[in-house]
Amino acid sequence: MKVWLTERAGQPTDPLFPTRQGTRLSHDALERRIAKHASTASHACPSLQNKKITPHTLRHTAAVRLLQAPVDTATIALWLGHERDQTTQTYLHADLTIKQRAIDRTTPPGTKPGRYRPADPLLAFLEDL
């Protein structure tokens, strides 16, 4: 990204990814670019073939990754242009790793942190015989 910013040699207010005329990309143009690159990426990662990747998907992914970094929600809210911190809270609910870390912090002393894994039903049946 640093190389691109240097190569672009634009002003801080200039679009990060401008059109040929130097204006910002329209929403449609951005969606077409994302679809094109998602299609290319799906050859190396077949699970992408069944997913719809949109600008909002990328925005959501960026927010969740920032939370995992961990970056505070006020900073993420400013970065995403949210008017209130509460809007950013929705990303907290979407990330299971954040929830797991919170649960692990409350684990009683002397117990292993982690998710409960029920025993194999066949083994449980055999033990009851």
**Which pLDDT score is estimated for 45?**
92
Q: 3-state secondary structure string, the chain?
A: CHHHHHHHCCCCCCCCCECCCCCECCHHHHHHHHHHHHHHHHHHCHHHHHCCCCHHHHHHHHHHHHHHCCCCHHHHHHHHCCCCHHHHHHHHHHCHHHHHHHHHHCCCCCCCCCCCCCCCHHHHHHHCC
The pLDDT of residue 105 is above 90: no
**Which segment of 5-19, 53-67, 82-96 scores lowest on mean pLDDT?**
82-96
Mean pLDDT (whole number) for 89-102: 71
The pLDDT of residue 104 is above 80: no
Domain ranges of the chain: 1-51, 54-104
